[in-house]
Chain A
Amino acid sequence: GQNIDQPTEMTATEGAIVQINCTYQTSGFNGLFWYQQHAGEAPTFLSYNVLDGLEEKGRFSSFLSRSKGYSYLLLKELQMKDSASYLCAVSGGQNFVFGPGTRLSVLP
C-alpha cells in the first residue's frame, strides 16, 4: 500500500523558522515534492528531492532521507503570507500520491 503522513496543523510566529515533517511508505519512488496551497486555490510547486540531502531555495529548504522514508520542509523568516497548507507528494510511478497536508498558521 501507499501511505503518506504529515502533521495536521502547525502554528508559528512571524519571523521564526518552522519544520514540517513528512513520512512515506510507497511501492515505488521517483521523487518527493512539496506544494503550497492557499485556501481555495490550486497547489503551487515549491521543491522536489530525488537524492538524499538538503535542497535550498531561498527561504524554503527541503530534506530527504530515502532509507528512512522521511522528508521535511523548512521555512525560514516566516511571513504572514506563508499561512497555507503544505502538501507532501511522492512520485512512485507515473502519478503522485499526496499526503493530507499540513495547515500552517503564521501569527504576528
Chain B
Amino acid sequence: DTGVSQNPRHKITKRGQNVTFRCDPISEHNRLYWYRQTLGQGPEFLTYFQNEAQLEKSRLLSDRFSAERPKGSFSTLEIQRTEQGDSAMYLCASSLGRAGLTTDTQYFGPGTRLTVL
C-alpha cells in the first residue's frame, strides 16, 4: 500500500453543480478524516469516520456537504449546489484508530483541488 489516495486530483465546476470526491485510506487504518484547506491557511477539520460510523462533524460544515464511508474502507465527500466559496483543497487523512492508542498519527492524501467558477 503506497498511502492515502484521492480522486480526482483537480475538479473545475460551475456554481450550482454537485461534485463528489473519493478517498482511499491506508488499508489497515480504521479512521478517516476530511479537511478543507485554503491558500495560506492550515487544514480545517470537516468530519471523521471510525470504520463506517461518522463520529464527528464540524459545525462549519453546511448541509450542502455530506460524507459517507459505507463499508469502512473508501469514503466519498459530496458537495451539492457548489458556491464559489467552496473553492479549496480538500484533503483526506487516515490513521490507525485502534482502541488504547493515546496518540494517533494522521497520514494525508494528495488532496483534490476544487475550483468553482
Query: With A and B bound together, what is the CA distance between A45 and B108 in angstroms?
Result: 8
Which residues on the B side are within 8 Å of A70 (C-beta)? none
**Minimum CB distance partner of A45 in chain B:** B105
Q: Give the interface size bracket for A toward B.
A: 20 to 34
Q: Give the interface size bracket for B toward A.
A: 20 to 34
Contact between B42 and A100, CB atoms less than 8 A apart: yes
> Which B residues from 20 to 48 make CB contacts under 8 A with A?
31, 33, 35, 40-45, 48
Query: With A and B bound together, what is the CA distance between A4 and B106 in angstroms?
Result: 18
Which residues on the A side are within 8 Å of B91 (C-beta)? 42-43
Contact between B103 and A98, CB atoms less than 8 A apart: no
Contact between B43 and A45, CB atoms less than 8 A apart: no
**Minimum CB distance partner of A39 in chain B:** B39
Contact between A87 and B105, CB atoms less than 8 A apart: no
Which residues on the A side are within 8 Å of B43 (C-beta)? 43, 87, 96, 98
Contact between B106 and A45, CB atoms less than 8 A apart: yes
| B55 at the A interface (CB under 8 A) | yes
**Minimum CB distance partner of A4 in chain B:** B42
Contact between B105 and A33, CB atoms less than 8 A apart: yes
Contact of B105 among A48, A98, A101 (CB under 8 A): A48
How near does chain A come to B51, taking the closest CB pair, in angstroms? 13
**Minimum CB distance partner of B45 in chain A:** A95
Contact of B55 among A44, A48, A94, A97 (CB under 8 A): A94
| A32-55 interface code vs B (CB 8 A; 1 in, 0 out) | 010100000111110010100000
Chain A interface residues (CB < 8 Å from chain B): 4, 30-31, 33, 35, 41-45, 48, 50, 87, 89, 91, 94-101, 103
Q: List 20 A-B contacts (CB under 8 A).
A: A41-B111, A42-B108, A43-B91, A44-B108, A48-B103, A50-B103, A89-B42, A91-B103, A91-B104, A94-B48, A94-B55, A95-B48, A96-B33, A96-B106, A97-B45, A98-B35, A98-B45, A100-B40, A101-B40, A101-B41
